[in-house]
Amino acid sequence: MAFKSLRKSSFMLLLAALCCALPTHAVESKSTFTYTYSGRLDSEEKADAILQAKVKAIETWIATSQPYQERNFSLAKDDITENIDEYLLSSAVVSKDNNKDIKQYRVVVRVDINDTKLLNYLTAVGRAKDGSMDDEDQYITFVFVARELASRTEAKDTASGDFKRAKTLWQATTTSEIDIAVGEVFADANYYVIEAALLEEDTAGQLDVNNFLMDYEQGDDLTPGTKRDAIRGLKSLEDPVQYLAIGTLDVDEHVTDDVTGLYKVPVSVTAKILSVKRRGATMASIGPVQYLGLGPTPIVAKNNALKLAAQEMAAGLIGQLSSKSI
């Protein structure tokens, strides 16, 4: 009994810590559920059909938008079903039809999912699976860079008969919008977050943020040398850092949104988390996936896009780790 109590207590502490991991907003989902009955359809069966339609709406959204949380959802489905309205900001029955000839009651519902609360809960469930939450402190560091196109050369045949490959060069920088957003999500998921720049001296320069920037200006991934040195440096620390998160957030040109009249900036994200202990093995990955930011000026729209993309990216990576009980 004491062990079960400890597991429950640890899970509740983790869930409380996760409650602020993401900004609260709603996502809409719609579903249809057909309930087959016998005899006469009563009010309890109608209510159950609506309940199952709500659950199906959540399940559909997870399958299409949050596939890394499917395993966690399967673990938590019974509890979510029992407390369905805690994870919905609103719900409405769009239509209902009772076909008495074949004894089927068909209901269509539309729900606004509190994705912040739901994803935080699913992450907590995954990490608490089988009471296997690691007692060891989990340290993570990251280097995520914002990139804007500097130049692009198209592939072509030269006058001398040689073939010139296409080449894209980027301007890469670290930004406070990304660092703060990612750091908050990682920290709220109970990881100890250490700024990469603070580890440069401790790793004797093997982890060097400038090397990350130079690599990402030339290509979409780190060179083997940069990655190998960073992993070795982190592994050599007396108090080891277990995970290194890396990736790019590519900022496209701004356009005007037809609906709002505001500036709109797309950001394309590619990211992954590497295990230091497992020689840099990829434990989670995201992208490429695109997010949009709106604002009254191009700068504000870009900053909003970077913040949103960083938050969603970090949440996705954490969700994947939690599905492995990490």
Q: How far apart are CA 237 and CA 235, in angstroms?
A: 6
209-218 and 224-235 helices cross at what angle (nearest 10)? 160
Structure tokens at 311: 């938050």
Each residue's pLDDT, cut to its tens digit, for the chain (326 residues) gives 433 443 444 444 444 444 444 444 578 999 999 999 998 999 999 999 999 999 999 999 998 878 878 888 999 999 999 999 999 999 999 999 999 999 999 999 999 999 878 888 888 887 776 544 455 668 999 999 999 998 888 777 776 767 777 788 999 999 999 999 999 888 878 889 999 999 999 999 999 999 999 999 999 999 999 999 999 999 999 888 999 999 999 999 999 988 889 999 999 999 999 999 998 999 999 989 999 999 999 999 999 999 999 988 998 898 888 877 66
Domain spans of the chain? 18-131, 139-323
Tell me the residue length of the chain.
Answer: 326
Q: Is the pTM of this model over 0.75?
A: no
Q: Which CATH class is domain 18-131?
A: alpha beta
Backbone angles phi, psi at 93, to 5 degrees: -85, 115
Please give the pLDDT value at position 136. 61
Beta carbons within 10 angstroms of residue 96's beta carbon = 14
Q: How far apart are CA 149 and CA 130, in angstroms?
A: 47
Residues in a beta bridge with 84: none
Single out the residue of 262, 243, 242, 252 nearest to residue 288, CA to CA: 252
